Structure 1
Amino acid sequence: MTTHPATPDSQDALADDPHANDAAPYPGGDPYGDYRTHGVDFSATDLVDLADRRLGAGVIAANDEFFAQRENLLVRERAVFDPEHFGHKGKVMDGWETRRRRGAGPETPFPAPEEHDWALIRLGAPGVVKGVVVDTAHFRGNYPQRVSLQATAVEGNPGPEELLASDVKWEELLPPTPVLGHAANGFAFDVERRFTHLRLCQHPDGGIARLRVYGEVVPDPEWLGLLGTVDLASVLNGGVYEDASDRFYSSPTQIILPGTSRKMDDGWENRRRRVRDTNDWVRFRLAAQGVIRAVEIDTAYLKGNSAGWVALSARDGEDGEWYEILPRTRLQPDTPHRFRLATPATATHVRLDAFPDGGVARMRLHGELTEAGAAALADRFRRLAG
């Protein structure tokens, strides 16, 4: 893998050589052998992918998907490449690929400069977008010359027609910017606003394998208030993984994803611990101050490597003292566990300790927001609404 500088090639460089950002033709062997990382590297980020299908994200429309379907953009696994796989429309690619644009006639065979292809993405969890990765894996000579990205906030369940209406305001996060072919192209943003939808554009056409949208979830406090009892740790409700002793095999953020784990790597697993009298742990910040009444801990698909025992501690506020809310308790492999707390716990943070090591697939902290917690969420929601 090759890493390139943070700034994409300039417009002038592309004008001198329109193929400056191409990758070499597939040389055989490992398709990722010459894969590149360009711009901001998000490979080790702990930010949530707001466009994760597990959160409910979707690519709801595209103007063209002749060669490859738009839904591939949000597939969790990295793009695959089979050099021998062709279909009736040509090479089968694992991404979103549009046809080649043409001009108005023989005297103007190229498309007009403003013409482009687009796809609309519904974020699974509305929030502040901190950065994106536009992954052009395996698109070596058929990637877009430039990409752009706009964002908007439209509540409810708008369809493509509503989102593309003239009265919807789109904010530009990324102007048309060159990208590399067969590369992870990372871009960071500093726009403190809550968005619900994105529009990804290819200039003028081409293919993109995957899109990752990293950011911070901003839940709707009115909805949480209507629910009453909520999972205070859930990513969808604004819970955040802050720190952990070990994230060797997978991110601890997966512990607080919605739904159930689908396979072993869909939870948190650490290395085998070899130092006696130590243990692994994860610390979470809750959606806001709340009262925890019940806990679920699931070890689904962790059959020979689940945590042997777990304990939970909580604190109220950044400077609060940690106190135990669930004593060290035996876990069974590949099993959902439910615990009713002896005393409801008011907290803003929770720490999960695994003894001595091992994995946890999911954790739920059921309770309700305090009056102060609900007010803090409402204030943040108003500030980021724009």
Structure 2
Amino acid sequence: MTTPTDAPDFLSWPDLANRALAGSVVWASDESFAERENLIRATEPVFDPAEFGNKGKVYDGWETRRRRHDEIGGNDSAIVRLGVPGQIRGIAVDTAWFTGNFPPQIAVYGLTCDDYLTGEQIAALPDSEWTTLVPPTDAQGDHRHHFEIFPAGPAASQRFTHVRLDMIPDGGVARLRVHGRPVPDPRFLGCTLDLAALENGGRITGCSNMFYSRPDHIISLGRARTMGEGWENARRRGEGNDSVTVQLAGEGRIRWIELDTSYFVFNAPGDVKLTGITASGEEIELVAQTAVLPDTRHRFLVSDPAEGESGPTPVVAVRADVYPDGGISRLRVWGELTDAGRQDIESLW
């Protein structure tokens, strides 16, 4: 299925696990020495021989404890949700700076799952759900391992959403790169405008709480790079919930909404609800109250029971309710302007 190579062509394909594309390490069996999130950092791994922390030597990678007892058993694993699902062309596993603590063997498996499951739920799926991308293979310390997916193999044509890296039985890996061809969901293609974007004329008109950061961050350019580049409210101790309202660039028909909790790991909302507000003040349910995950880019198709031949009900604003509180890094509202919405923008121009 795979073959190691010194100068693989697959490196020309984008890294689908890249943090900048909303990739996230959603689960790890253990991260006693170095946290799992380091696996998909965009930078090259670095090493300071004099740097020690409360858990021992500091490594720029993912490192687990030493497996000592029979009751532990098995091997260590980390699961990465790809920022952009796609067909995998090759995988790079880098053990840079891990010399006496690298895993004797590594293996990589792929999964296709479009549901928003927690890391624990993904980890509990049976092995039969996973496709072997890299079978158990001897590893080296301080080395970049390249594995090309054979174009003629069954894995090359499959669309994957997650990969699992196994260290057999334990050790440390600095970086994981998953190069491949993006495969978009056609249901989310075709809309031409983010109606909420600040650059297109969207603006925040209401916010229940902005204790830690400004709510207009969520409609700013690009993706958030840290938690501080999103909207974070205070911890709610009483009843009710927090919300933020965006006045759209113009009246429009909404097709789908992206709500991104990237970098909000322990302070994301438990649930969210998205409501459209018409020019007359009527409220239209766009996305019913639903559970969301930490550190995840969620995409919701809008279901409008009043949708007619011309499309969903036109709205001029969208309110995002978070339950009971919690942070959002970005909010995108994709759709098209109505004639009235376009005229309003033209009049401003």
Q: TM-score normalised to the size of structure 1?
A: 0.47
**Correspondent of 1:67 among 33, 37, 57:** 33
Corresponding residue for residue 67 of structure 2: 101
2:95 maps to 1:136: yes
Distance in 1 (alpha carbons) for counterparts of 2:62 and 2:70: 25
**Correspondent of 1:219 among 169, 184, 188:** 184
Corresponding residue for residue 142 of structure 2: 182
Structure 1 40/159 Cα, relative in aligned 2: closer, same or farther at 3 Å? farther
The SS at the match of 1:162 is helix
Residue 162 of structure 1 deviates from its aligned partner by 2.6
Residue 57 of structure 1 deviates from its aligned partner by 0.3
Residue 87 of structure 1 deviates from its aligned partner by 1.3
Residue 44 of structure 1 deviates from its aligned partner by 8.4
Native 8 Å contact 1:145 1:203 kept in 2: yes
CA RMSD in angstroms comes to 2.9
- Gapped regions of structure 1 (runs ≥ 5): 1-5, 9-38, 106-110, 232-257, 263-365, 369-386
Code of the residue aligned with 2:147 in structure 1: it is F
Structure 1 155/367 Cα, relative in aligned 2: closer, same or farther at 3 Å? closer
Corresponding residue for residue 160 of structure 1: 119
2:192 maps to 1:229: yes
Corresponding residue for residue 194 of structure 1: 159
Code of the residue aligned with 2:122 in structure 1: it is L
Code of the residue aligned with 2:101 in structure 1: it is N
Native 8 Å contact 1:68 1:94 kept in 2: yes
Distance in 2 (alpha carbons) for counterparts of 1:196 and 1:125: 7
**Correspondent of 1:259 among 222, 234, 240:** 222
Q: Report the number of matched residues.
A: 195
**Correspondent of 2:80 among 108, 117, 121:** 121
The Cα offsets for residues 334-360 of structure 1, whole Å up to 9 and x where unpaired, read as xxxxxxxxxxxxxxxxxxxxxxxxxxx
**Correspondent of 1:89 among 33, 50, 55:** 55
The SS at the match of 1:177 is strand
Distance in 2 (alpha carbons) for counterparts of 1:261 and 1:88: 30
Native 8 Å contact 1:127 1:219 kept in 2: yes
Native 8 Å contact 1:224 1:230 kept in 2: no
Native 8 Å contact 1:63 1:118 kept in 2: yes
Distance in 2 (alpha carbons) for counterparts of 1:181 and 1:46: 25
Residue 93 of structure 1 deviates from its aligned partner by 0.5
Residue 222 of structure 1 deviates from its aligned partner by 1.0
Corresponding residue for residue 353 of structure 1: none
Code of the residue aligned with 2:86 in structure 1: it is G
- Gapped regions of structure 2 (runs ≥ 5): 195-220, 226-333, 337-349
Structure 1 367/211 Cα, relative in aligned 2: closer, same or farther at 3 Å? same
Distance in 2 (alpha carbons) for counterparts of 1:7 and 1:45: 14
Native 8 Å contact 2:10 2:180 kept in 1: no
Structure 1 169/261 Cα, relative in aligned 2: closer, same or farther at 3 Å? closer
Q: TM-score normalised to the size of structure 2?
A: 0.51
Q: Identity of paired residues, percent?
A: 46
Residue 166 of structure 1 deviates from its aligned partner by 3.9
